[in-house]
Structure 1
């Protein structure tokens, strides 16, 4: 891969899409995804992306066989890879709105991360906007693991804000099976979002943290549909 002295990033691909610019960069041994100039994620860690999947599965009843999971946002692929590593999941659906990100995984540099997971027969990729998909689909899932922003208080695009609104959370609630779990990744804790989940009818609302080297921890917000 191309490198530069001092670890300066190298742009591997830059695309203009319906939601603005998305960029794949390489910095040393790691990849970075930038959307409209906003840093989204990189391949340097991945603990919180894996927690997103692990915490959701742990929250489901142990007796539930072959649960289905919808992963909102393909990103660098860590959440998908973690889901594919767990034999308990029966079906894995990834919703990604950026065709560029899908391409980087199917036939680009990120294939080295997600290739085996994408080849898993349980895995399906849906090229769609997550917010619209949750609003229009009638399918239900046992778990929704959502990571399309830097958190409820820091969205990548303005339209994404509706996902965390009362109407958006109602759609999430409707898309879950009884006893299903909603897991939402965030770059910082959000007590206001926890209250919004309770107001939307979710129970068992809690937050799991992943400590980072500097600053506030990454978190996963968890909530259950009880009826």
Structure 2
């Protein structure tokens, strides 16, 4: 019989306040294009609008620096979930972050001393460049310099399918959600085989956390069908529209 998603689970971290906007002069009017690069997955663009940075991928708005509450909750909820998972305690859980984005998830992880090794997998070299030496460097320079941090230029599934260590936590933020991918090939990550790959690369009792611009009951059932336990969704209210969501599932111990 198929296990049904739980309606609730161990307490999640409290709501987060809005993140401060990126420092910089306001740019009234149309957005200012700071960089534009073609790539095998489509064009990626970095823009600045009213002092905030925006990333556009394959013609789709991906994220900006206006409010990182849900991205930070992604990491905090995953840590709370792995703390509550059965099995031995993990004093320094290893973390893989899928997608560097504007850096909210990475900076949140680095701010928590309990995390052990932190690996960030990013497929767009432009995004890595923007953080290492470009306009986004002031936001993440300290996080990138943290000795726990390693940035890997790779597609996420390519990285997960290659030989390597297992992780205690996978935090994925590479799309607007499992029902709204940036590119068509990203859909394979949320397919049965993609989710099984994620489960395989987790340690027993490890946690998968997936950010989404809207909750998805379909994806909850996909997690259950892929063998995850304690499947649940944390909601993050937004000023307008449906709340953001963080979908969580645990590998059996």
- TM-score with structure 1 setting the length: 0.97
Per the TM alignment, residue 26 of structure 1 is displaced from its structure 2 partner at its CA by 0.3
Mapped to 2, the partners of 1:186 and 1:47 lie a distance apart of 13
Q: 2:117 aligns with which of 88, 91, 94?
A: 91
Q: How does 1:1-227 map to 2 (within 5 A)?
A: 4-6=27-29, 8-61=30-83, 63-227=89-253
Partner deviation per Cα, 1:123-167 (whole Å, 9 max, x = no partner): 000000002111223320000000000000000111100000000
Q: Is the 8 A contact 2:27 2:51 kept in 1?
A: no
Mapped to 2, the partners of 1:123 and 1:138 lie a distance apart of 16
Q: Is the 8 A contact 2:122 2:153 kept in 1?
A: yes
Partner deviation per Cα, 1:84-134 (whole Å, 9 max, x = no partner): 000000100000000000000000111111110000000000000002111
Q: Is the 8 A contact 2:78 2:209 kept in 1?
A: yes
Q: How many residues align?
A: 226
Q: State the superposition RMSD in angstroms.
A: 1.1
Unaligned regions of 5+ residues in structure 2, if any?
1-23
Give SS of 2:37's match: strand
Mapped to 2, the partners of 1:122 and 1:38 lie a distance apart of 32
More strand, by proportion: 1
Report 1 or 2 for greater relative contact order, CA contacts < 8 Å, sequence distance ≥ 6: 2
Q: Is the 8 A contact 1:2 1:10 kept in 2?
A: no
Per the TM alignment, residue 211 of structure 1 is displaced from its structure 2 partner at its CA by 0.4
Per the TM alignment, residue 37 of structure 1 is displaced from its structure 2 partner at its CA by 1.0
Mapped to 2, the partners of 1:150 and 1:34 lie a distance apart of 11
Q: Is the 8 A contact 1:194 1:205 kept in 2?
A: yes
Unaligned regions of 5+ residues in structure 1, if any?
none
Give SS of 1:61's match: helix
Give SS of 1:207's match: strand
Mapped to 2, the partners of 1:117 and 1:153 lie a distance apart of 30
Per the TM alignment, residue 74 of structure 1 is displaced from its structure 2 partner at its CA by 0.1
